[in-house]
Structure 1
């Protein structure tokens, strides 16, 4: 990479970081190129040259964030952790990602951007599901998941949790001890309300 390319990548990264910070605090419809330009200390022309439009910029920010989350997750999965540690890590990732992209924001972005919706669906199908199945199979091989439980059972159970994660996180925050609450949810995920059999 030559000096020009390196500089261009640094400018793009700064624009995307600024946009992410603005999305954390504001509705995408209220985010303006003029405001991004001011905060990132680059011209509006520069932003349009790199991204073409506000919609494309927001799409790239979301894709970049999603890709990095998956890469970090895959690295963690390859470090030899127990199944319980992996599930705890998934819940922690969900908790952290909701600080950046709330479920409402994600739904809004997906509804309004067909290309982004297709991208998320493809990543879910091609990366997230196979990785989750691998984790479950490793858990079955290590004896951490009962032989009476199928991969489909665990996938369904995880989906139930994820479908209600926004509500679970709200309850965790209201409890006054978010980490302890989520630790209890992890315990119930593995052992149910009666504890280990």
Structure 2
């Protein structure tokens, strides 16, 4: 890679990172190329040269964001941790990722862009869901999940948690002790309100 290509790649990465930062604080419909250019300290022409449109830039930002998140989870889940540690990690890290780009922003982008919605759906079906099923099956084999509970119902419970993630994040912040809140939610996820059987 020559100097020009390296500099071009660095500028592109800077624009994408700036876009992700803006998505964490600004409604996607209100973000303008001018805002991104100003925050990234590049010209609007530079952004158009690299991405052609705001939609392409948003797609690239979301794609990179999700790829980093999935790679992070895959690395941790492939290490030798208990099921409980893996679920705690997923919940804790998702909290951090969703501070960067809140779920409602991702949903809004998917509703307005069918191409992005298709990409996110593919990532879920090809990466996220199989990875989750794998760790749950490992948990069943290791006796960490009750034989009385199906993988499908564990997935349903996880989906219920994820559907309320923004509410849970807000409640965690209001609790005054985020770590304790997350720890107790993980306990409730695994053992319910009565504790272990």
TM-score (norm 2): 0.95
Q: Shift in Å at residue 85 of structure 1?
A: 0.6
Question: Which segment drifts farther, 145-154 or 57-66?
Answer: 145-154
Q: Which residue of 2 aligns with 1:80?
A: 80
Q: Secondary structure at the match of 2:125?
A: helix
Q: Distance in 2 between matches of 1:115 and 1:123?
A: 13
Q: Shift in Å at residue 103 of structure 1?
A: 2.4
Q: Which residue of 1 aligns with 2:7?
A: 7
Runs of 4+ in 1 over 6 A off after TM superposition: none
- Give ranges in structure 1 of 5+ residues lacking alignment: none
Q: Which residue of 2 aligns with 1:143?
A: 143
Q: Distance in 2 between matches of 1:169 and 1:32?
A: 28
Q: Distance in 2 between matches of 1:24 and 1:95?
A: 13
Q: Secondary structure at the match of 1:25?
A: coil
Question: Which segment drifts farther, 3-12 or 50-59?
Answer: 3-12
Q: Shift in Å at residue 95 of structure 1?
A: 0.8
Q: Distance in 1 between matches of 2:146 and 2:187?
A: 15
Q: Distance in 2 between matches of 1:25 and 1:159?
A: 25
Q: Distance in 2 between matches of 1:25 and 1:130?
A: 31
Q: Shift in Å at residue 77 of structure 1?
A: 0.6
The total of aligned residue pairs comes to 197
Q: Distance in 2 between matches of 1:118 and 1:5?
A: 30
Q: Shift in Å at residue 150 of structure 1?
A: 1.5
